[in-house]
Amino acid sequence: MAAAIVALVGLVVAPVPLAAAEGDGQCTQVVDPITNEVKWVCENGGGDPGGGGQNPGGGSSTCTYAGSEIPCSLGGGQWSSKNACYVIPTPVSPQPAPPPGQTDQDGDWHNCIQPAGYLGSNQPVWVEAGETLIDPAVLAQRAIASMNLDPITIGIVPEPGPDRVGLVGLPVWMWVEDQAPNTYGPITASASQGPVSVTATAKVSSIVWDMGDGTKKTCTGPGTPYEDRYGKQDSPTCGHRYEQMSDDQPDDAYQVTATSHWVVEWSGGGQSGTIEFDITTEPLPIRIGEAQVLTQ
């Protein structure tokens, strides 16, 4: 991965020794001469994208900090939500004095790298003997990445297509076509590293349908597939009615999208949590016209 460097005017960059695993990237400390705030700037040595091994790459596995996505590993360190930094596995050498009430046998000090782009303290953190440096929340993200989650396939009447036209005022039915574990759930996957294993189960809790006419419909189920026998009935679970033709829209069609809201429950490593996110389909064009009345 390219060097994670943030250009900051007026900062002094000075090399600082950092204990890192062999083959990992090199890190440099950036010090603000006015505020004395510091951060680490690192080059990642790569690894196995998506997880696995002792030095997993970023891949599709991401973690969250201050509302933004960050890599789950950087500069040889693993992200620790407990410490809000990347903990380097190799202890600091030489070791500073242990914290009050602790002895040299109770744990070790480890360097901790701030996420790229964030200024803050890079003081070493105390890791107790036997405490794993593997963050279960990171493994939960890896488990999610392995699910290969996709948007739903839209089922809708009137159907899309240049020779298909729905009518103003008639019911529109929306549903999940070809419902599958990786498009609607539930789906379960696990991720492990060292002694820690995490299991995550994901499922869609709701779908927001953007009908392209300024209307959004939230449906809490997969919807009901339309059948000819339903005639002009409204969908009992997920429907809409267009009030105007689509001839003033791009390509004379309303662009319909469906956004699935996923909820993931995970547990392992003595922790548990919930992760939520959205996946949106590509726009689907639906043409709406008016019935023509013939007179003689």
pLDDT reading at 35 higher than 90 = no
Cα distance between residue 238 and residue 222, in whole Å: 8
- Is pLDDT of 19 > 60? no
125-131: Cβ within 8 A, 24+ apart: 125/80, 125/83, 125/85, 125/87, 126/98, 126/99, 126/102, 127/87, 127/91, 129/105, 131/107
Tokens coding 27: 């890190």
Give the pLDDT band of residue 36 (cuts 50, 70, 90). very low
Residue 64 has pLDDT above 50, yes or no: yes
| Mean per-residue pLDDT, 11-23 | 29
Give the pLDDT of residue 172.
Answer: 97
Q: From residue 185, how far is each of 109, 116, 204, 206, 260 by CA, in Å? A: 42, 34, 6, 11, 11
Cβ neighbours for 40, distance < 8 A, ≥ 6 positions apart: 18, 27, 28, 29, 30, 75, 113, 114, 122
Is the pLDDT higher at 225 or at 66? 225
Average pLDDT over all residues of the chain: 78
Closest among 56, 73, 188, 198 to 140, alpha carbons compared: 198
200-217 pLDDT tens trace:
999 999 999 999 999 999
The pLDDT, as a whole number, for residue 181 is: 97
Report which of 292, 211, 218 is spatially closest to residue 249, judged by C-alpha positions: 211
DSSP lists the bridge partners of residue 117 as: none
Query: What is the model's pLDDT at position 73?
Result: 77
Mean pLDDT of 15-34: 36
Instruction: Give 179's pLDDT tier (boundaries 50, 70, 90).
Output: very high
Structure confidence by residue, pLDDT tens digits, 227-238: 999 999 999 999
pTM of the model: 0.64
In this predicted structure, what is the pLDDT of residue 292? 62
Least confidently predicted of 131-140, 181-190, 262-271, 278-287 = 131-140
Name the percent of the chain lying above pLDDT 70: 76
What pLDDT sits at residue 120? 65
pLDDT of residue 45: 32
pLDDT tens string 273-294: 899 999 999 999 999 998 764 4
Q: Which residue has the higher pLDDT, 258 or 12?
A: 258
Handedness of CA 48, 52, 57, 62 (dihedral sign): positive
In 3D space, the residue among 286, 267, 21 whose CA is nearest the CA of residue 160 turns out to be 286
Least reliable range by pLDDT among 101-115, 120-134, 233-247, 248-262: 120-134
Q: In the predicted model, is pLDDT for residue 136 greater than 70? A: yes
